[in-house]
Structure 1
Amino acid sequence: MSARLVGTYTPKMDDKGRLTLPAKFREALAGGVMVTRGQDRSLSVYRLDDFDAVAERLREASRNDPEARAFQRYFFASSDEQRPDAQGRISLSAGHREYAGLVKECVVIGAFDHLEIWDAPTWTEYQGQHEENFSAANSAALDSLL
């Protein structure tokens, strides 16, 4: 079983657009990663095997569906394979940095099967907007268990 990618980390991006991935995951990510545009102005970082599994599911979507085709094009066109260097750094393309609004202060969150890279202020704003929904969902889940 692959390592679970969970937690919140706050690395800084250097002036060359390099970001150090959390040390906790370096071994699991050493074989390479795929960086792609994620949701809500974040970047998604997948281990290669996990990316291939997502790609297979996307490939199976109907090519007769214009929305499926558009998503496939967007997803694959924005993907960039990276191999972390000896310090665990990956280089984020100018297009990825621009899309996610990354300047220096970043947040890397674990989303179980992938990582997400956020601009720190954008992540803080996102959390504030969704805290009430999380609290309500958490309460509903606890109620269903009791």
Structure 2
Amino acid sequence: MFRGRSRHTLDEKGRLAIPTRFKDVLNPKEDVCLVVTNYINCLRAFTKENWRIIEDKIAGLPLMDSKANSLRRYFISGAQECPIKHGRITLPPDLREIAGLQKEVELVGALKYFEIWDKSRWDEEFNNARDDFQASGQVFADLGI
């Protein structure tokens, strides 16, 4: 599972080093690339195995459902395989632009995937998440957490 967060720098070609703790999650024989797609203000990176699970679920959604179509058009259409070379992936320019990625980025573990945020956007998102977390204590208690 992908856990923790760390700051990294994108080089001029959009190459991003994968943190050791994230590389440790990957199977070096099977995970030769990550599937990276756009999300809300960030990118999400999945192993091919976890991506297949998502694709299978989305493939089963109704073809004429407008929300399912929005999901396919935004989330699925952005997906690109990014080969892992020398412990790095190269993020395609169109995905970097959609996510607003500049030089400084934050990699954020989210269990079955990790997110790639522009540092300034991440700082704002983290503050919002902290506020939501503090206000949600009873919800977590109701879930048995």
Both structures adopt the same fold (TM-score exceeding 0.5): yes
Note closer, same or farther for the CA distance 1:84–1:65 as it changes in structure 2 (3 Å cut).
Answer: same
Instruction: Say which structure is richer in helix.
Output: 1
Are residue 33 (structure 1) and residue 30 (structure 2) matched?
no
Point out 4+ residue stretches in structure 1 off by more than 2 angstroms. Answer: 27-30, 138-146
CA apart distance, 1:130: 2.9
Give aligned pairs, total. 141
Aligned to 1:7: 4
Work out the CA distance in 1 between the residues paired with 2:131 and 2:24.
36
Unpaired runs of 5+ residues, structure 2, are none
- Once the two structures are superposed, the pairs formed by residues 135-146 of structure 1 within 5 Å of their partners are 135-138=134-137, 140-142=139-141
Structure 1, unaligned runs of 5 or more: none
Residue 56 of structure 1 corresponds to which residue in structure 2?
A: 56
User: Share of identical aligned residues, percent?
Assistant: 28
Give the 5 Å matches for 1:1-146. 4-29=1-26, 30=28, 31=31, 32-39=33-40, 41-86=41-86, 88-138=87-137, 140-142=139-141
Deviation at 1:85, TM superposition (A): 0.6
Q: Indicate how the Cα distance of structure 1 residues 20 and 144 shifts in structure 2: closer, same or farther if over 3 A, else same.
A: closer
Q: If the length of structure 2 is used for normalisation, what is the TM-score?
A: 0.88
